[in-house]
Amino acid sequence: MTAKRGAGGMAQFIDRRLNPRDKSLGNRQRFLRRTRAEVRRAVDKAVAERTIADAANGGAVSIPTDGVGEPQFHLSRDSGERERVLPGNKDFVAGDRIEKPKGGGGSGRRASDSGDGEDPFSFALSEAEFLDILFEDLELPDLVKASLKDVSQREFRRAGYTNDGATPNLAVLRTMRASMSRRLALRRPTAAGIEQLEAELAALRAETEPGVADQLRIAELYAEIERLKRLQRAIPFIDPIDVRYNRFTPTIVPRAKAVMFCLMDVSASMGEREKDLAKRFFILLHLFLKRKYARVDIVFIRHTHEAAEVDEQEFFYGRGTGGTAVSSALKTMIAVRDKRYPAADWNVYCAQASDGDNSASDTQVSVGLLREAILPQIQYYAYIEIADEDGGQRYGGGGDKDLWRGYAQLKPAAPNFALARVVGRDDIYPVLRELFAKPARKGAAQ
Amino acid sequence: MTRADPAQDAAPTRGGLLFDGAEWDFATVRRVYEAIERIACDELGLDVFPNQVEIISAEQMLDAYSSVGMPLMYAHWSYGKRFVRDEALYRRGYQALAYEIVINSNPCISYCMEENTMAMQTLVIAHAAFGHNHFFKNNYLFQQWTDPAGILDYLDFAKRYVASCEERHGLELVETTLDAAHALMGQGVFRYRRAAKLKLGDYERRLRERQEREAQDYCDLWRTVPSGAPARENSISEEEARERKRRLRLPEENLLYFLEKNSPTLRSWQRELLRIVRNLAQYFYPQRQTKLMNEGCATFVHYTIVNRLYEKGLISEGALMEILHSHANVVAQFDFDDPNFGGINPYALGFAMMQDIKRICVLPTAEDREWLPDIAGRQDWPAVLRDVWANYRDESFVRQFLSPYLMRKFRLFALSDKASESSYRVEAIHDSEGYRRVRSSLADSYDVGAGEPDIQVVDVDLLGDRELVLRHTSRKGVSLAETGREATLRHVRRLWGYDVRLEDAPAP
The answer to whether A75 contacts B451, with C-beta atoms less than 8 Å apart, is: yes
Query: Residues B431, B498: one domain?
Result: no
User: Mind listing the pLDDT tens digit for each residue in A422-442?
Assistant: 888 777 777 777 666 644 333
- B194 contact partners, CB below 8 Å, separation of at least 6: B144
| Sign of the CA dihedral with B330 first, then B336, B337, and B342 last | positive
In this predicted structure, the answer to whether residue A259 has a pLDDT above a threshold of 90 is no
- B72 contact partners, CB below 8 Å, separation of at least 6: B152, B155, B156, B159
Measured CA to CA in angstroms, residue B332 lies from B95, B341, B350, B353, B359 at distances of 17, 10, 12, 14, 20
Query: Within a domain: residue B263?
Result: no
Query: Residues B443, B483: one domain?
Result: no
Pair A11, B129: CB distance under 8 Å: yes
Query: Residues B37, B82: one domain?
Result: yes
Cα of A92 to nearest chain B Cα, Å:
7
The answer to whether A21 contacts B84, with C-beta atoms less than 8 Å apart, is: no
In this predicted structure, the answer to whether residue A56 has a pLDDT above a threshold of 70 is no
The answer to whether B56 contacts A16, with C-beta atoms less than 8 Å apart, is: yes
Query: Residues B393, B500: one domain?
Result: no
The answer to whether A115 contacts B38, with C-beta atoms less than 8 Å apart, is: no
Query: Residues B477, B362: one domain?
Result: no
Q: Does B430 touch chain A (CB under 8 A)?
A: yes
The answer to whether A76 contacts B478, with C-beta atoms less than 8 Å apart, is: yes
Residue from the list B62, B88, B413 with its beta carbon closest to the beta carbon of A89: B413
What residues in A contact B187, CB-CB < 8 Å?
A: 73
Query: Residues B479, B433: one domain?
Result: no
Number of Cβ within a 10 Å radius of residue B388: 20
Q: Is A300 left (phi over 0), alpha (psi -120 to 50) or beta?
A: beta
**Domain boundaries defined on chain A:** 22-64+119-138, 167-246, 257-445
Query: Domain span at residue B387?
Result: 331-449
pLDDT of residue A79: 82
What residues in B contact A60, CB-CB < 8 Å?
A: 88
The answer to whether A14 contacts B85, with C-beta atoms less than 8 Å apart, is: no
Q: Work out the pLDDT band at A119, boundaries 50, 70, 90.
A: low
Measured CA to CA in angstroms, residue A400 lies from A394, A404, A406, B374 at distances of 10, 6, 10, 99
**Mean pLDDT to the nearest integer, B103-108:** 90
SS3 call for A268: coil
Looking at the DSSP bridge assignments, the partners of residue B55 are: A15, B112
Q: Work out the pLDDT band at A30, boundaries 50, 70, 90.
A: confident
Tell me the DSSP string of B224-288.
HSPPSHHHHGGG--HHHHHHHHHHTTSSBS-HHHHHHHH-SS--HHHHHHHHHHHHHHHHHHHHH
Give the separation between CA A265 and CA A253, rounded to whole angstroms: 37
- Interface contacts A/B by beta carbons within 8 Å: 287
- A69 contact partners, CB below 8 Å, separation of at least 6: A115, B484, B487
Query: Residues B87, B63: one domain?
Result: yes
Give the separation between CA A21 and CA A24, rounded to whole angstroms: 8
User: Mind listing the pLDDT tens digit for each residue in B380-403?
Assistant: 999 999 999 999 999 999 999 999
Query: Residues B11, B119: one domain?
Result: yes
Q: Does A117 touch chain B (CB under 8 A)?
A: no
Looking at the DSSP bridge assignments, the partners of residue A386 are: A422
**Mean pLDDT to the nearest integer, A257-277:** 81
**Mean pLDDT to the nearest integer, B360-371:** 93
User: Mind listing the pLDDT tens digit for each residue in B297-351?
Assistant: 999 999 999 999 999 999 999 999 999 999 998 899 999 988 888 889 999 999 9
pLDDT of residue A426: 78
The answer to whether A5 contacts B344, with C-beta atoms less than 8 Å apart, is: no
DSSP letter, residue B42: I
ipTM of the modeled complex: 0.81
Give the separation between CA B134 and CA B290, rounded to whole angstroms: 13
Nearest residue to B400 (alpha-carbon basis) of B336, B342, B335, B446: B446
Number of Cβ within a 10 Å radius of residue A184: 10
**Mean pLDDT to the nearest integer, B27-36:** 92
User: Taking CA A39 as the corner, what is the angle to CA A38 and CA A43, rounded to the nearest 5 degrees?
Assistant: 120
What single letter denotes the amino acid at residue A216?
L
The answer to whether A121 contacts B491, with C-beta atoms less than 8 Å apart, is: no
Query: Within a domain: residue B35?
Result: yes
- Over A101-138, what HEC string results? CCCCCCCCCCCCCCCCCCCCEEEEECHHHHHHHHHHHH
The answer to whether B479 contacts A76, with C-beta atoms less than 8 Å apart, is: yes
Q: What percentage of chain A carries pLDDT values higher than 70?
A: 80
Domain boundary among B139, B168, B201: B139
Q: Work out the pLDDT band at B181, boundaries 50, 70, 90.
A: very high
Cis? peptide before B107, omega within 30° of 0: yes
Chain B residues 370-399 with CB within 8 Å of chain A:
none
Which chain B residue's Cα is nearest to A77? B481
What residues in A contact B453, CB-CB < 8 Å?
A: 73-75
The answer to whether A17 contacts B57, with C-beta atoms less than 8 Å apart, is: yes
What residues in A contact B431, CB-CB < 8 Å?
A: 94
In this predicted structure, the answer to whether residue A260 has a pLDDT above a threshold of 90 is no
SS3 call for B223: helix
In this predicted structure, the answer to whether residue B198 has a pLDDT above a threshold of 60 is no
Highest mean pLDDT among A217-226, A393-402, B186-195: A217-226
DSSP letter, residue B127: I
Q: Does A62 touch chain B (CB under 8 A)?
A: no
User: Mind listing the pLDDT tens digit for each residue in B407-464?
Assistant: 999 999 999 998 888 889 999 999 999 999 999 999 999 998 888 888 999 888 766 7
Give the separation between CA B415 and CA B412, rounded to whole angstroms: 10
Q: Work out the pLDDT band at A387, boundaries 50, 70, 90.
A: confident
Number of Cβ within a 10 Å radius of residue A320: 18
**Mean pLDDT to the nearest integer, B31-49:** 93
Highest mean pLDDT among A239-248, A276-285, B238-247: A239-248
Number of domains making up chain B: 3
Lowest mean pLDDT among A146-160, A239-253, B135-149: A146-160
Which chain B residue's Cα is nearest to A96? B426
Pair B40, B46: CB distance under 8 Å: yes
The answer to whether B129 contacts A11, with C-beta atoms less than 8 Å apart, is: yes
Give the separation between CA A220 and CA B187, rounded to whole angstroms: 90
pLDDT of residue A111: 37
Which chain B residue's Cα is nearest to A11? B51
pLDDT of residue A395: 47
Cα of B209 to nearest chain A Cα, Å:
31
Q: Is B313 left (phi over 0), alpha (psi -120 to 50) or beta?
A: left
The answer to whether B438 contacts A85, with C-beta atoms less than 8 Å apart, is: yes
Q: What percentage of chain B carries pLDDT values higher than 90?
A: 48
B92, with CB counted inside 10 A (0-12, 13-18, 19+), is exposed
Cα of B441 to nearest chain A Cα, Å:
7
Sheet of B500-505: strand order equals B454-460, B468-473, B500-505
**Mean pLDDT to the nearest integer, A139-159:** 63
Give the separation between CA B429 and CA B432, rounded to whole angstroms: 9
Q: Work out the pLDDT band at B179, boundaries 50, 70, 90.
A: very high
The answer to whether B478 contacts A82, with C-beta atoms less than 8 Å apart, is: yes
Query: Within a domain: residue B380?
Result: yes
- Over B313-343, what HEC string results? CCCCHHHHHHHHHHHHHHCCCCCCCCCCCCC
- State the number of CA atoms in the 13 A half-sphere of A192 facing the CB: 0
Query: Residues B389, B429: one domain?
Result: yes
Chain A residues 363-392 with CB within 8 Å of chain B:
none
Query: Residues B461, B445: one domain?
Result: no
Query: Within a domain: residue B392?
Result: yes
Query: Residues B86, B25: one domain?
Result: yes
Give the separation between CA A288 and CA A135, rounded to whole angstroms: 12
Query: Residues B341, B405: one domain?
Result: yes
**Mean pLDDT to the nearest integer, A237-260:** 80
Q: Work out the pLDDT band at A356, boundaries 50, 70, 90.
A: confident
- Through-space distance between the first and last CA atoms of chain A, rounded to whole angstroms: 59
Residue from the list B426, B476, B488 with its beta carbon closest to the beta carbon of A82: B476
Highest mean pLDDT among A23-32, B131-140, B183-192: B131-140
Pick the CATH number of A257-445 from 1.10.357.10, 2.20.25.90, 1.20.1300.10, 3.40.50.410: 3.40.50.410
- A81 contact partners, CB below 8 Å, separation of at least 6: B416, B417, B418, B419, B476, B477, B478
pLDDT of residue A120: 67
The answer to whether A82 contacts B78, with C-beta atoms less than 8 Å apart, is: no
Cα of A109 to nearest chain B Cα, Å:
8
The answer to whether A72 contacts B183, with C-beta atoms less than 8 Å apart, is: yes
Average pLDDT across chain B, whole number: 85
